């Protein structure tokens, strides 16, 4: 988190908040996610199994950080603060790699779910912008194929 708070931040609003979830909080967040996934399953038993599985998977995570941003009523600052918080996320990911760890960044509608918010302990004026799971990588997957930078770069004289 020390690296995260060094992220560039216009106006130095320091909008980021980090919630490091323990096993019970992870289980509760996972349950909130599992409930959302189970809603898409017709079979009641399969739905219950989904809830249980996702909750237990989250309890078993080695480290789960909910990154939140303090809401600002000014839309310009709100956007800047979101960008700064995501740069903080990037700093966490890069620092983890430097330490021989790996991360999985996760987002999605669950971040605004009341049960998930309660599990993470965020305050009413904060919104979760990313979940960062950190751990020792079981393996390092090969990089996915990406276009090289020139494909996206236009030089304007
Ligand atoms: C802002 C953001 C949101 C992401 N959300 C999710 C997500 O909800 N679920 C997921 O499995 N991965 C998510 N990812 C991870 C990406 O899908 C991808 O695995 C990650 O950026 C690593 O890239 P790589 O697979 O090329 O190494 C997210 C990544 C970013 C940067």
- pLDDT, tens digit (0-9, with 9 covering 90-100), for 48-98: 999 999 999 999 999 999 999 999 999 999 999 999 999 999 999 999 999
- d(Cα 134, Cα 64) in Å, to the nearest integer? 6
pLDDT at residue 60 in the model: 98
Average pLDDT, the chain: 97
What's the rounded mean pLDDT across residues 109-114? Answer: 98
Assigned domain for 69 exists = yes
- Among protein residues, the one with the nearest Cα to ligand 1's atom 9 is 106
Counting ligand 1 atoms within 8 A of each CB, the residue from 36, 92, 105, 144 with the most, and so the one to mutate, is 105
pLDDT at residue 81 in the model: 98
For residue 1, pLDDT beyond 90: no
pLDDT at residue 102 in the model: 94
DSSP 100-157: T-EEEEE-SGGGG-HHHHHHHT--TTEEEEEEEEEE--S--PPPPP---GGGG-----
Assigned domain for 149 exists = no
pLDDT at residue 107 in the model: 98
Assigned domain for 150 exists = no
Assigned domain for 11 exists = yes
For residue 41, pLDDT beyond 80: yes
- Atom from ligand 1 closest to the CA of residue 144: 26
pLDDT at residue 97 in the model: 94
In this structure, the residues whose C-beta lies within 6 A of any atom of ligand 1 are 105-108, 130, 144
pLDDT at residue 113 in the model: 98
The phi and psi torsions of 98 (rounded to 5 degrees) equal -60, -30
How many angstroms separate the alpha carbon of residue 157 from the centre of ligand 1? 35
Assigned domain for 82 exists = yes
- Domain coverage including residue 74: 4-138
The rounded percent of the chain whose pLDDT value lies above 90 is: 96
Count of domains observed in the chain: 1
- d(Cα 57, Cα 137) in Å, to the nearest integer? 16
Assigned domain for 156 exists = no
- d(Cα 100, Cα 126) in Å, to the nearest integer? 31
For residue 43, pLDDT beyond 80: yes
Report which DSSP code applies to 50: H
pLDDT at residue 78 in the model: 97
How many angstroms separate the alpha carbon of residue 44 from the centre of ligand 1? 30
- Among protein residues, the one with the nearest Cα to ligand 1's atom 31 is 105
CATH of the domain at 27: 3.40.109.10
Considering Cα of 61, then 119, then 117, then 54, what sign does the dihedral take? Answer: positive
Report which DSSP code applies to 65: E
Assigned domain for 146 exists = no
How many angstroms separate the alpha carbon of residue 24 from the centre of ligand 1? 24
Q: Note whether 65 and 134 are within 8 A (CB).
A: yes
């Amino acid at each position: 988190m020390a690296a995260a708070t060094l992220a560039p931040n216009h106006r130095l609003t320091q909008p980021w908040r980090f919630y490091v979830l323990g096993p019970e909080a992870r289980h509760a967040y996972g349950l909130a996610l599992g409930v959302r996934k189970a809603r898409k399953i017709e079979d009641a038993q399969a739905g219950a199994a989904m809830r249980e599985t996702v909750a237990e998977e989250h309890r078993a995570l080695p480290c789960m950080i909910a990154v939140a941003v303090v809401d600002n009523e000014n839309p310009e600052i709100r956007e800047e603060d979101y960008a700064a918080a995501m740069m903080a996320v990037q700093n966490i990911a890069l620092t983890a790699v430097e330490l021989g760890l790996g991360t999985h960044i996760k987002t999605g509608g669950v971040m605004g779910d009341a049960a998930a918010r309660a599990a993470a302990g965020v305050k009413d004026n904060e919104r979760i912008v990313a979940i960062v799971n950190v751990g020792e990588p079981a393996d390092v997957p090969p990089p996915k194929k990406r276009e090289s930078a020139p494909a996206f770069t236009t030089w304007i004289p």
